[in-house]
Amino acid sequence: MSDVRLVPVAADDADIRLDRWFKRHFPAVKHGRLEKLLRTGQIRVDGRRAKGSTRLEPGQSVRIPPLGEATDAAPQPKATISAADRDWIRSLVIHEDDDVIALNKPPGIAVQGGRKVSRHIDGLLDALAPKGGERPRLVHRLDRDTGGVLLLARRASSAAALAEAFRARDAKKTYWAIVVGAPAADEGTIDFAIVKKAGPGGYEKMAADAAGGKDAVTDYRVLEKAGRRAAWLELRPRTGRTHQLRIHCTSLGTPILGDRKYGASAAVLDGVPGGDRLVLHAREIDIAHPAGGRLRVVAEISPQMVETFEFFGFQSTPAGNRR
Is 46 an annotated catalytic residue? no
Q: From residue 34, how far is each of 4, 41, 60 by CA, in Å?
A: 15, 11, 19
Which among 99, 143, 145, 259 is annotated as catalytic?
143
3-class secondary structure per residue, 102-115 = EEEECCCCECCCEC
Buried b (16+ CB within 10 A) or exposed e, 191-216: ebbbbeeeeeeeeeebbbeeeebeeb
Asked whether 240 and 166 are in contact (CB, 8 A), the reply is yes
At 162, which helix (H) or strand (E)?
helix 156-167
Rounded Cα distance, 82 and 84, in Å = 5
Q: Where are the beta strands (DSSP E) in 106-263?
A: 137-138, 147-153, 171-180, 187-191, 194-198, 204-208, 217-226, 230-237
Rounded Cα distance, 150 and 57, in Å = 20
- CA nearest neighbour of 173 among 197, 200, 198, 150: 150
Q: What are phi and psi of 37, to 5 degrees?
A: -65, -35
Rounded Cα distance, 206 and 63, in Å = 32
Instruction: List the catalytic residues.
Output: 143
